[in-house]
Amino acid sequence: MLVVMQAQATEDQVRAVCQKIESLGYRAHSMPGAQRTAIGITGNKGEVESGTLDEMPGVQEVIRVSKPYKLVSRDTKPDNTVIKFPGSHVTIGGTDLAIIAGPCAIENRDQAFKVAERVARAGAQFFRGGAYKPRTSPYSFQGLGEEGLQIMAEVRDRFGLLIVTEAVDYESLDLVDKYADVIQIGARNMQNFSLLKRAGRARKPVLLKRGISATLEEFLMAAEYVMSEGNYSVVLCERGVRTFADHTRNTLDLSVVPAVQRLSHLPIIVDPSHGTGKRNKVTPLSRAAVAVGADGLIVEVHHDPDRALSDGMQSLYPDQFDALMAQVKQIAAVLGRTIERAHEPIAATTK
Ligand code: PEP
Ligand code: MN
């Protein structure tokens, strides 16, 4: 159920409706929009008796939601969600594109700083890097753990980049929530429902990657899990799905971008690195992702990809990332979008 408030409804009226919903034993999710506030109701087993809410001051209508997802839906919130970061003008989901770049994994301080310096100079606003790596083989590099998070926190202080990093379980989620600016939930965990709920109780924005074989509905339902716990700052990420095609690691499904945008107000970005698995395809697919209307990119960059401890084959050299940025800026302009750096570049001196 969804309670749509009148455009001129007061904050007190919205609060009273939320209190009424909670007193009935349900959960109220107030979603303010440009035109009006909608209040999503979750936790109800069957239909909510709408009569009690219908008559309350400020209520325009109470509607049944027939789609399986409620809070992610444009029915609940017609205007795009724009995620803001305290103390910064950086946003995700607004006119400005979010560019997230960095190595697959944090390997050591020197590597992280070398890559961060280059991606910051190229104009990325976010630094990515895994401290907890979900690897196919238990014998592959698993990440530095908390030490990796500490290195990323140093990168934020030094270069002014916001930090995006993956949590793989409850324990790492608590640490990622403490150190990072955005909590990444990886493709393999897209349907780890208890982890999604835990991310929903965290206060940092969540970057949710599409599962390796997830349908659009499954993808949106995963975001619904996070939102149902009260965290409305979710960024969706298309990172390729498994198909019969073997010329790439995954098949990047760019058509999901407009499909998501039609149904949901949440921002969606594209990962052309995992989406293709091949360095030579990352820049062309980045151009395409921006052209198709993505709200940003997450790209793997390494100063020495041949010696990277993970995903070297798909990691760009810093010079290639410079070229990518120059190209996508031009494509963004055609669509009336911008790519603004977080701040003026910091003088280049690594260590
Ligand atoms: C990653 O971003 O390094 C990663 C492991 O991504 P995914 O979950 O999409 O495979
Ligand atoms: Mn990777």
Decide whether any atom of ligand 1 lies within 6 Å of the 305 Cβ: no
Question: CA dist 57 to 30, 98, 152, 258, Å?
Answer: 16, 40, 49, 37
d(CA 129, CA 101): 8
pLDDT in tens, 122-153: 999 999 999 999 999 999 999 999 999 999 99
CA 196/CA 50 separation, integer angstroms: 30
Asked whether 104 and 307 are in contact (CB, 8 A), the reply is: no
Give residue 310 CA to ligand 2 midpoint distance, Å.
6
- Write out pLDDT tens, residues 162-216: 999 999 999 999 999 999 999 999 999 999 999 999 999 999 999 999 999 999 9
Domains and CATH numbers, the chain: 2-63 (3.30.70.1140), 83-334 (3.20.20.70)
Backbone angles phi, psi at 111, to 5 degrees: -60, -50
Q: Side chain identity at 81, as an amino acid letter?
A: T
Among the bound ligands, name the one nearest to the CA of residue 136: 1
**Element of type H or E holding 223:** helix 216-228
Tens of pLDDT, residue by residue over 296-333, are 999 999 999 999 999 999 999 999 999 999 999 999 99
Pick the atom of ligand 1 nearest to 240's CA: 9
